[in-house]
Amino acid sequence: MNSLTTTGSLCYLFPRVYPSAQAVGLLLMDKLFSIDEANAVIPQLKLLLAKARAERERMLKMRPELEKAQEGYSKNWGTPRGAEYIEILDAFQQAAKDIEDLGVVVKDIDIGLCDFPHKRDGRVVYLCWKLDEEEISWWHDLETGFAGRQPL
């Protein structure tokens, strides 16, 4: 399971703000980005975010049918679109894994808010980027988040 999904419910359809690296034991800190390296990843990241967002939209469109099937589960109902849903979910999870494999931490898929672990003044911080920004121009401490963004 990756950082963009949760088991046991439909909440993986609605990822909004993901746990900080502190909350997941700094697992994603294996890769520290220079500013140039982070900027070089942005074109690939844009494509992967677009893929993840598109697959999530497809899942959201199926939500009413899935909830109905979930309610009727005890009566052995289901949905004839189950295989399609699994295919969409697999594609979403693959895009999420591909982003994670880059070493990027997605904080909000809706606005494309992403963090890149970076070493600044001898400590690990995040370079901060949003989908509507051309390049990385901001950073923040691990715990301050978007509200603590400061210009580079």
The domain spans of the chain are 29-151
**86-100 core/surface letters (b: 16 or more CB in 10 A; e: else):** eebbebbbebbbbbb
pLDDT of residue 81: 73
Enter the tokens of residue 94: 């693959």
Is the pLDDT score of 49 beyond 70?
yes
Predicted confidence at residue 18, as pLDDT, reads: 42
Instruction: Give 117's pLDDT tier (boundaries 50, 70, 90).
Output: very high
What are the tokens at 15? 């990822």
Q: For 61-93, how does the pLDDT look when each residue is reduced to its tens digit (9 = 90+)? A: 888 877 776 665 555 556 667 778 888 889 999
Total-model pTM: 0.73
Task: Please compute the mean of the pLDDT values over residues 101-118 and round it to a whole number.
Answer: 94
52: number of Cβ within 10 Å: 24
Q: Rounded to whole angstroms, how far apart are CA atoms 110 and 130?
A: 10
Look at residue 43 in the predicted model and tell me its pLDDT: 97
Q: Please provide the average confidence, as pLDDT, over all residues in the chain.
A: 79
**Closest by CA position to 12, among listed 50, 48, 66:** 66
